[in-house]
Structures are given as structure tokens and as C-alpha cells.
Chains A and B, each alone.
Chain A
Amino acid sequence: MSDYRRSNVARALLADAVAQVLDNKVFRILAVLSALIVALTFAIGFREDSIWLLGGLREYFYEDLFSFFGATMPVGGTTQQEAVISFLQKLFVDYLAGYVGILFCIGATAFFVPAMLEKGFADTLFSKPVSRWSLLLSRYLAALLFIAFLSAFLVGGMHLGLSISSGYSDPSFLWSAITLVYLFALISSFSVLFGTFTRSTVAALLLTFAAYGVTTGVHNAWIPIQMGRELGAFDELEKSREEGRSNEVADTFIDGLIATAETLHYILPKTVDAKYITADLRDQVISDPEEARARSERRSRRGAGGDDDSAEAADSKAGGRASQGRRSADLDPWTWYETKVGWDASLPFNFGFSIASSLVFVGAALGLAWLRLRRISF
């Protein structure tokens, strides 16, 4: 007779999580899509001045391509190669994987907990000598494995492809994979929480999307409030209150909104910070201090995470005058926010605080789910 060993249980839960992920159709579709993107980075090489197809079989110069589309070559601190590659990295990892991919992954993993709690399956599973907490945690980890496999494959594969085909190696890009997992870990905690309470995949999915929307909205509302405070935007309001010129109902409403946004900001996971943390970590990986500084400045000029508005767009908002570009960026809450956040920043803007408070939320969500699970009779 073999004895009971806790390590065997842990191994079983892990093996089950992996099997569940690999069997998932959405996972397979996303894996195929990632493979296509990775294959592209191997097939197409972005060299210093030109694009190579299949190891140089065909060559297209950037200048010709830009002029073909009636565009001008970007100028500034970046080379054409770096500009094109960072564009591709942003397109595929930040946008496709970071937004669309994450939503797909939520959709694909939202059923993990409700399926575990279904009659028939729950009886079998929960009668085993495994705590309910371990089973719940195993489902959460299964969801994390799901995204970890995909993001490691996509980011690692792209990095390898770009290194081989384009001769361009940017190890800082690898941080993107970790950030994708981090972002998903935050959102997936909602999915586990709602899945346990509703025991319905559809309800858990809809509520998770709603919660993700609320979290993003709250954070995006909190940033302008903080900026307004610092730049004295509320001074006029305060003054009108002191002079008795304000409407009491409107004041109460505005105060309520601000207080709600601020409270929720501190409670909810700070999903929006993920991209700022990635950008910062990527800068830290650059071994050349000059290059790191240049990147940071470029990022700062481009706007939030370097992806929302280009410096040119900022200029055009300010009336197309380059001299006013910086001022325009200063008035952009997300650019302002980017200058405020960091590892040494004050508490509300501190990356460490952002990560810690978000992880506290994840712990609280999983804890609540566990408390609910303990009370369920199957």
C-alpha cells in the first residue's frame, strides 16, 4: 500500500491544470495565432535599412516602402529598424496580446471554477482528501498557466525570431511576458470570485468583463483627479464654495464621485499600471545608461506608455507647434501620470504599492471565494 503524500496531490493538481489548459480549444487557437506571429518574425527580417524576406531572398528598403505609402521616414533618436520592431512588439504584445488576447484568455478560463462546482464533477473531486482551498487555488493557477504558456511562447518566440532574422536583440522585451501574466492574474481573480458565487460560466464571464471595465475606468478617472489636484484645477471650485457661489447638490455629487473613485482606486487592482511597470522594467534592463535615458525620454514624450499619442499627435492637439508639444503633453493626464510613477515615487504613485495593493486584492478575492466555497453543499 502506497502512503499518502502531499507532494503527489500537488503533482496531480498541477498535471490536471496542464491537461485542462492543453485541451482547451481557445488555447489551441491562440497558440496557433501566436505561432503564426512568431513564424513571421523568423520569416521577415527587419535590418538596418531594409526588410529581408526569408533570410534575404527578397529585400525592400524602408525608404521605398514609406514613400510607396506616401509617408515620410520617422526621424529622431530611433533607427528605422528599432522603430519598426518596437511598433511590431507593441502591436502584437501590448495591443493584440495585452488587450484582445487577455479578453480571449478570460473567456477561455472563466469556466474553470464553475465547471469544477458542477454537480457530478464536484462530488467526485471534493470527496478526495484535498482541501477545498487547494482545489480552488489549482483552478486559479490553471488559468495563470494558460496565459503563461501563451505569453512565454509569443514573447520568447518573437524575441528569438527578431534576434535571428533581424539581428536585433532587446532582452527587455521579455518583461512583457511577465507583465501579461501579472495583468491576467489580477483580472482572473475576479473570474474565480464570480465563478464561485454564481457557479455559472456565463455570469462569471460577464461580471469579470464588467469588473475589468470598472477597474480600468476607476483608475483612468483617478489619474485626472490627482493631476487636477496637483495643478490646482480644484482651487476655483474651492473658492466658489467659500464665496457661496456654488450649487450644494452639484458639490455633493462631485465630492461623492471623487471620493468613490479614490476609494475604489485603492481597493481595486491597478490593472492600468501594468503597462507603466513594464515600460519602466524594460528601461532598467537596458545596460547602456545613455540608451536607457534616451528611451525613457522618448517614452515620456510619446505619452501614456508610449502608445496612446505620439509626440506629433500631441503637437497637433496644441495647434501643430512643436514648441508647444511639451506643454501639451504636460496637460495630458497619462503623460503626467507617467512622470509621477516609479519605484521611488510617493505612495499613491509607487509601483511597489501598486503591485502590493493589487496582490492584496487578489488574495482578498480568492479568500472570499474560499469562504463561499466552504459553505457550499454539493
Chain B
Amino acid sequence: MNNESPLRVENLSMRYRRGLLRHGHQALDSVSLEVGRGQVFGLLGPNGAGKTTLIKVLLGLAVGWSGRAELFGEPANHRAARNRVGYLPESHRLPPYLTGRKTLELFGMMCGRDRRWLRERIPVWLEKVDMTRDADRKIREYSKGMQQRVGLAAALVHEPDLVFLDEPTDGVDPVGRAAIREVIAELRQRGTTVFLNSHLLLEVERMCDQIVILDKGRILKQGSLEQLTNDTGTVRVVLASEPPPDLRVRLAERELSVDGLGLEFLGEQPEVDLVVDQLRAAGCSIRSIEREKNDLEDVFIDLVQGSGVKQ
């Protein structure tokens, strides 16, 4: 296997044009990103941000884009590249006339895999998505959650090196969601690159190594979870016992107040060291110290609202 990047996009733009006058809207605007091998890559953005369009360009489902888009070093929409890719679209539909098992076989064979090879693996994938019991029922008899789980297995049955999952837990019950998270974790362990598109920030937070926030076709921010959810500057100290009154006075002189057993202040590392020294010198036992961080939701809302204001 080559060391090429599973996914690379440079200055990718796409404008949907409709109607006689060819009016349209800019779905993607000079997007550039690269996904490393074995990463779980999260794509976040409000509705209409261009997340699904980006996936569709990469899979050859959208036409009329400009820029550069590659999968495994091959131009996007190249059939050879798609052979190594699995895709679970948002609101997907599976052939209603097939059973779950036959659907996996069909999709696996459409990716060029042998029937015999597939028949060994299909039961394993059905088990992973908890669909063994209903595998021989027709798709048209499945609930939305069941279709989602079979859809996920169908996207993975040919054992691709890169998987695009567009809202994979949509319509799935909490147990099913846990099973899907487990599958994604397993994929990561196996070195499969996962490109996850989800509205559920908690899921992205739990599963992704790298995150991109997209809005109105532009990348607003990208980086690891650590990089995105930066410090707010606030430090929280929890004491094991009430501080003595003279310490309260000394802290008040520095405009710090103790609320019960908690102490909260804004400061960099020297400030933190100073406070800790004072507490310890006064014989206070410290239970915990932590820096407050933005959670992904705060970052996301700030960025998207900020982008809206700028626009």
C-alpha cells in the first residue's frame, strides 16, 4: 500500500446552478484540507454548510466543481479510488426488494469483491451492527434505525481504507448508537480512515482526532479537539477544607474570593503558582485544580454566529 494521503483537497469550490438563468449558490468556497491515514476526521457545520457537497465531490456524485480533490492520490471520482472507499449517505435508501444479507452481498460485489469472500464476512458485519436476527428480512420491512445499521454494514463490508459516514447515528436508538461508536473505534484501531459528518457534537467530540468546522462553504477552523477547545483563562481550585479567615483577607486583597470550598480566578501559570503557594502556606489542602476549557459546542456556536455576523 502506498503512503499517499487518503484524502486531499485544495481550493475546492462548487457552485450549484439551477434553472434557465443558472442562478445558484456557492456550496463550497476554496476549501483545502488533508486527512491522514487512520484518522477519524470530523466535519462539523450547520445545515447547508457544504458538508455533504464536499463528500459528494470526493465520491464523484457532484459535477461542476473546480480545484483539486484527490482520494489516495487519484483524482476524485476516479473509479479506482472509489474501490477503496465506503460511504454511508445521509437519508440513504437501500434496495427495498433485497434482504439485509443480500444487500451486503450486492454492495460488496459492486465494489468488485468475490461472493465467497463476502459470504465469510457478511455474518461478522451483521453481528457488529446487531442485525443478525433480521438479516433475512426484506429491507422494506426494516425500521429507519435498522436500515441505518444495515447501511453502515453495507458501507464497510468490502473493507475499505477510507469511510465516509454522513450522520451515521441518525434515527438510531441509544443502544444502536453505542454499537456504531464501537464500530468506528474498531475501524480506527484497524487503521481505516473515517470521515465523519455529524450534527451531534458530543459524538464528534468523543470519536474524532481532527475536526473541521465548515459554514457557508468555507472552513472556519480546523485542528485537533485540544486545539479547538482552547482555554478560557479561568482556573478552578477546589479545596479540601475551609480556608482560614486571614487567608480570605489576603486573597481578597488580590480580588480573589472563596465561595465555599471553591476558588475561581483568571490567570496564567505564574498567577496559578502564586495562589497555590499562598493556599499551601496557610495549610490549606487542595482537592483539585483545573483550567476551564470551551467545549466543542461553545466553539462551534461562537464560530458559526461570528461567521454569520461577518457575512
Contacts and interface: CB of A to CB of B under 8 A. Distances in A.
Contacts of A123: 56, 61, 87, 89, 92
Contacts of B159: 1
A5 B63 contact: no
Nearest to B98: A19
A8 B112 contact: yes
Interface residues of A, number: 36
A9 B89 contact: no
Interface stretch (B42-50, B76-84, B249-257): B76-84
Contact of B80 (A23, A121, A129): A129
A127 B102 contact: no
A53 to B, nearest CB: 40
A158 interface: no
Interface string B105-125: 011011111110110000000
A15 B97 CA distance: 12
Contacts of B230: none
A232 interface: no
A120 B62 contact: no
B89 A6 contact: no
Nearest to A14: B109
A378 B62 CA distance: 6
A19 B107 CA distance: 14
Nearest to B91: A120
B287 interface: no
Contact of B61 (A22, A23, A377): A377
B82 A129 contact: yes
B56 A377 contact: yes
Contact of A2 (B87, B98, B106, B113): B113
A11 interface: yes
Contacts of B62: 377-378
Contacts of B56: 123, 377-378
Contact of A4 (B83, B95, B98): B83
Contacts of A8: 109, 112-115
Contact of B106 (A5, A12, A22): A12
B16 A16 contact: no
B92 A129 contact: no
Given A19-B95, A120-B93, A127-B89, A377 B112 contact: no
A5 B115 CA distance: 11
B73 interface: no
B161 to A, nearest CB: 10
A13 to B, nearest CB: 7
A124 interface: yes
Please indicate which of the listed interface residues A2, A9, A16, A378 has the most CB atoms of chain B within 10 Å of its own CB: A2
Nearest to B87: A127
B61 A127 contact: yes
Contacts of B154: 124
A124 B89 contact: yes
Contacts of B179: none
Contacts of B92: 120-121, 123-124
Contacts of B60: 126-127
Contacts of A23: 97
A106 to B, nearest CB: 20
Interface in A1-54: 1-6, 8-9, 11-13, 15-16, 19-20, 22-23
B82 A376 contact: no
B34 to A, nearest CB: 21
A3 B95 CA distance: 25
B85 interface: yes
Contacts of A15: 106, 109
Nearest to B158: A2
Contact of A126 (B61, B102, B112): B61
A237 B113 CA distance: 69
A131 interface: yes
B106 A124 contact: no
A376 B62 CA distance: 7
A20 B110 CA distance: 16
Interface string B257-281: 0000000000000000000000000
A3 B159 CA distance: 11
A375 interface: yes
Given A8-B114, A377-B56, A124 B87 contact: yes
Contact of A16 (B106, B112, B114, B151): B106
22 contacts: A2-B118, A3-B112, A5-B112, A8-B113, A11-B115, A12-B106, A12-B110, A16-B98, A16-B106, A19-B97, A20-B97, A22-B97, A118-B93, A122-B61, A124-B87, A124-B89, A124-B93, A127-B61, A129-B82, A131-B79, A375-B63, A376-B63
Interface of A: 1-6, 8-9, 11-13, 15-16, 19-20, 22-23, 118-131, 374-378
Interface of B: 16, 56, 59-64, 79-80, 82-83, 85, 87, 89, 91-95, 97-98, 102, 106-107, 109-115, 117-118, 151, 154, 158-159
The 3 lowest CB-CB distance pairs between A and B, nearest first, are: A4-B112, A12-B109, A23-B97
